[in-house]
Homo-oligomer: A and B are copies of this chain.
Amino acid sequence: MVTSSVVNTYPLSSYSFGTKEPKMEKDTSVADRLARMKLNYMKEGMRTSVEAILLHNHPHILLLQIGNTFCKLPGGRLKPGENGIRFHLTINDHYTPFPPSDTPFCLAEIEGLKRKLSSKLAANSPNMQPNWQIGECVAVWWRPNFETIMYPYCPPHISKPKECKKLYVVHLSEREYFAVPKNLKLLAVPLFELYDNVQRYGPVISTIPQQLSRFQFNMIPA
């Protein structure tokens, strides 16, 4: 893990892009997705997902576009046991997240994000994996119910959140090869396009500019 508030960003010309087999969404509707989430919750408890903020010069954020409008960050759901959050029952009977002091757990979360990034953006060959340098966690979002709405805190009186989603800054190296699934489009979106644009990007992605504002971007020229 890289815990620096200085992020080197490289021009897009640093990177090369190819395609690979499609990564289909598991669900064809929001209703299907929430139903599957509910089923998984009953089997495995709270869903933990991790997503990456990949930056290149200016800075721009890399997003994956599905269909004509929906955009998401690369990442996804961790396997049970890969998540770094454990719960700790406080005396007022609320669950509060407990710091992931247990290193193997925390490492598992970072490894889980690398696995997800490779699945979404790396070539299939094991010796062509980008050097994913996972940086700081910049935001945590909570899903209190089996609904689309999420909050940047676990709302009061919610003792059993259904999902915890963590966003990490990922530091890219100077040269990388990305293989983009054929059904997805990789977009590079500038911060000023995301800012205050909740209609287009939703509440999680549209507030990334605020979460990155404390970082120093060291833009490396081409």
Contact = CB atoms under 8 A, between A and B. Distances in A.
Contacts of A67: none
Interface stretch (A23-31, A116-124, A137-145, A174-182): A137-145
A97 B203 CA distance: 27
Interface stretch (A32-40, A44-52, A104-112, A190-198): A190-198
Interface in A166-208: 166, 190-192, 195-196, 203, 207
Nearest to A137: B214
The oligomer's copy count stands at: 2
A217 interface: yes
Most chain B Cβ neighbours within 10 Å, of A58, A92, A209, A210: A210
A65 to B, nearest CB: 22
Classify the secondary structure of A's interface with B: mixed
Interface of A: 6, 58, 90-92, 96-99, 136-141, 151-153, 155-156, 166, 190-192, 195-196, 203, 207, 209-214, 216-217, 219, 221
Contacts of A221: 91-92
Contacts of A99: 6, 216
A151 B216 CA distance: 15
The 9 closest A-B pairs by CB, nearest first: A152-B213, A140-B213, A152-B210, A152-B209, A207-B210, A153-B191, A139-B213, A137-B214, A99-B216
Given A151-B192, A153-B195, A207-B210, 8 more contacts: A91-B221, A96-B219, A98-B216, A139-B213, A151-B195, A152-B195, A153-B212, A196-B203
A74 to B, nearest CB: 19
B211 A211 contact: yes
A192 B6 contact: no
A139 B210 contact: yes
A211 B203 CA distance: 13
A192 B153 contact: yes
